[in-house]
């Protein structure tokens, strides 16, 4: 388990009003981040973007005040996808970017993600530096050195053009009817423009945020509305983003879900066929075994990283590869952008459809997913399941029963008080029984 005090696998996240997701903490966090990112001898600036949660207004103001107290200028982007903040942090040559979002969580949660000046997630050392400043008394800089705040009015247009630049100029979606589900989240005002400007006929759902409906029965975690709309409108496919726009899942014309593992396979196999994959593919411990078997069968190297896009990125950089991702639809495409980007990833799938001349339903058929079942066991507080003898004993029994024909994974969520129990194998009835038995042991041990 991480020894960091506040940071999880993807920033700081929790329920609004409960520590650390409070205005007071955000004020201190803004000041601490300003101190950690500041470079002497230059005017420092930090970008702040947010998703569509009502609490974003409150935390935006608190962070702005803290940064100003540290002597750092603030550029406010308003509601923008998480990857847009990563991109704009680079283009504005800012010291850092801050995103106020709890991603796919309900509106009553919120959180903070940071990007470095290079538009990448922070490494452990910089997160530890911020935490060290958080433990110090807040001292306001000289009044003449306080940071200024300004709004960036053209941020959406800049990001739309960036997304379009990640596909060739000759690429078009003319003749395609696409349904977009924006999860009432941060992509609501930019994703439709990207796809329409690239020639698609676009129908949109989940694009009326009211501050409380983010991810509510829509988006990449709730695909029923998208499936129904694709069938109703007889569209060619549907695309669903999560609340902050760094994940994407799809639905084919028959209403069948195409998850992140399948999308990763589609992008990889098309690039490999064109000779532009540039190395292998990184998945995670949760990636379906079918992906690994299909890619290796095509002569493509595959490696597993710990769960979390930061760990996928670490392995990509270490191997000098460009493509990796997770079943949740969080993909990293390093020759397009510096972090997971739902719109950019969707465009790469659309490019594969365009170049192959095959529909989405056909492209996914090259990979046979193995039955996989996961149960999230809610616990009072997070713990390492492998630290409990009773759980380890049950885990070893499950592994012995499945043999080489399956996999078992136990891990604590980095963002929620959950223990994730995943079992994968050849026979669905067997994995359902094994995962339920193992989840029961975890639940009993956590009491």
DSSP 257-309: EE-HHHHHHHHHHHHHHHT---S-EEEETTS-HHHHHHHHHTT--EEEE-SSH
Report yes or no on 2 lying in a domain.
no
Domain span at 46: 12-154
**264 and 245 both lie in a single domain:** no
Report the alpha-carbon distance of residue 134 to residue 235 in Å, rounded: 51
**190 and 292 both lie in a single domain:** no
Report the alpha-carbon distance of residue 102 to residue 113 in Å, rounded: 9
Does the pLDDT value for residue 189 go beyond 50?
Answer: yes
Name the domain boundary from 366, 384, 414: 366
* Strand 96-100, strand 45-50: pairing: parallel
pLDDT on residue 407: 87
Report yes or no on 236 lying in a domain.
yes
Report yes or no on 144 lying in a domain.
yes
Out of 103, 116, 269, 328, the active site residue is 103
Binding residues for Mg(2+): 103, 242, 244, 246
Structure tokens given for 374:
């996961």
Binding residues: 103, 242, 244, 246
pLDDT on residue 225: 98
Q: Classify burial at 40, counting beta carbons within 10 Å of its beta carbon; exposed 0-12, middle 13-18, buried 19 or more.
A: exposed
**CATH code for the domain of 289:** 3.40.120.10
Q: What is the dihedral of CA 15, 21, 22, 24, to 10 degrees?
A: 170
Report yes or no on 238 lying in a domain.
yes
**244 and 269 both lie in a single domain:** no
Name the domain boundary from 366, 397, 420: 366
Structure tokens given for 80:
């923008």
Q: In Å, how far are 99, 115, 200, 245, 340 from 121, measured between CA atoms?
A: 11, 5, 32, 15, 10
Residue 259 neighbours by CB under 8 Å, 6+ apart: 249, 327, 329
**387 and 338 both lie in a single domain:** no
Report the alpha-carbon distance of residue 170 to residue 36 in Å, rounded: 44
Edge-to-edge order in the sheet of strand 407-412: 372-378, 418-424, 407-412
Helices 23-37 and 55-69, axial angle in degrees (round to 10): 40
Active site residue 150: no
Report yes or no on 162 lying in a domain.
no
Report yes or no on 380 lying in a domain.
yes
Name the domain boundary from 154, 186, 202: 154
**279 and 361 both lie in a single domain:** yes
**142 and 36 both lie in a single domain:** yes
Residues 233-245: tens digit of each pLDDT = 999 999 999 999 9
**24 and 95 both lie in a single domain:** yes
The tally of domains found in the chain comes to 4
**CATH code for the domain of 384:** 3.30.310.50
**27 and 144 both lie in a single domain:** yes
Residues 300-345: tens digit of each pLDDT = 999 999 988 889 999 999 999 999 999 999 999 999 999 999 999 9
HSE (CB half, 13 Å, CA atoms) of 240? 33
**111 and 233 both lie in a single domain:** no
Instruction: Quickly state the pLDDT bin for 3 (edges 50, 70, 90).
Output: low
Report the alpha-carbon distance of residue 228 to residue 108 in Å, rounded: 27
Report yes or no on 75 lying in a domain.
yes
**208 and 282 both lie in a single domain:** no
Under 8 Å between Cβ of 394 and 437: yes
**179 and 285 both lie in a single domain:** no
Helix (H) / strand (E) containing 33: helix 23-37
Report yes or no on 44 lying in a domain.
yes
Residues 58-101: tens digit of each pLDDT = 999 999 999 999 999 999 999 999 999 999 999 999 999 999 99
**40 and 135 both lie in a single domain:** yes
* pTM listed for this prediction: 0.90
Residues 192-236: tens digit of each pLDDT = 999 999 999 999 999 999 999 999 999 999 999 999 999 999 999
Closest CA to 264 of 277, 254, 275: 277
Residues 422-447: tens digit of each pLDDT = 999 889 999 999 999 999 999 999 88
């Amino acid at each position: 388990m991480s020894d960091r005090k506040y940071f999880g696998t993807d920033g700081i996240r929790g329920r609004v009003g409960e520590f650390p997701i409070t205005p007071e903490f955000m004020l201190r966090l803004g000041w601490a981040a300003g101190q950690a990112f500041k470079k002497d001898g230059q005017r420092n600036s930090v970008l702040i973007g947010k998703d569509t949660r009502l609490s974003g207004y409150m935390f935006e103001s608190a962070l702005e005040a803290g940064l100003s107290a540290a002597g750092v200028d603030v550029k406010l982007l308003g509601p923008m996808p998480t990857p847009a903040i990563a991109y704009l942090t680079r283009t504005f040559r800012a010291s850092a970017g801050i995103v106020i979002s709890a991603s796919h969580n309900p509106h009553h949660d919120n959180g903070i993600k940071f990007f470095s000046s290079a538009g990448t997630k922070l490494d452990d050392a910089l997160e530890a530096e911020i935490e060290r400043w958080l433990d110090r008394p807040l001292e306001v800089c000289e009044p003449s050195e306080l940071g200024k705040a300004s709004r960036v009015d053209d941020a959406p247009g800049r990001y739309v053009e960036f997304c379009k630049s990640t596909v060739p100029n000759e690429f078009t979606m003319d003749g395609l009817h696409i349904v977009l589900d924006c999860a009432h989240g941060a992509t609501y005002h930019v994703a439709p423009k990207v796809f329409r400007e690239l020639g698609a006929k676009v129908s949109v759902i989940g694009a009326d945020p009211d501050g409380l409906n983010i991810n509510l029965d829509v988006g990449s975690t709730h695909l029923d509305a998208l499936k129904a709309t694709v069938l109703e409108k007889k569209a060619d496919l549907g695309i669903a983003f999560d609340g902050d726009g760094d994940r994407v899942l799809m639905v084919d014309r028959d209403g069948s879900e195409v998850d992140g593992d399948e999308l990763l396979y589609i992008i990889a196999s098309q690039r490999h066929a064109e000779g532009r994959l540039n190395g292998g593919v990184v998945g995670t411990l949760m990636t379906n075994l079918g992906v690994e078997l299909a890619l290796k069968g095509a002569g493509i190297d595959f490696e597993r990283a710990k769960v979390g896009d930061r760990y996928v990125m670490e392995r990509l950089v270490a191997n000098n590869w460009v493509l990796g991702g997770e079943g949740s639809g969080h993909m990293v495409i390093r020759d397009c952008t510096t972090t997971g980007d739902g719109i950019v990833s969707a465009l790469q799938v659309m490019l594969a459809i365009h170049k192959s001349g095959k529909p989405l339903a056909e492209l996914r058929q090259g990979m046979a997913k193995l039955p996989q079942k996961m149960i999230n066991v809610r616990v009072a507080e997070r713990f390492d399941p492998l630290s409990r003898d009773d759980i380890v004993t049950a885990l070893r029994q499950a592994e012995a029963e499945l043999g080489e024909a399956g996999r078992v994974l136990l891990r604590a969520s980095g963002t929620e008080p959950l223990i994730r129990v995943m079992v994968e194998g050849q026979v669905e009835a067997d994995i359902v029984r094994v995962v339920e038995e193992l989840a029961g042991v975890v639940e009993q041990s956590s009491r």
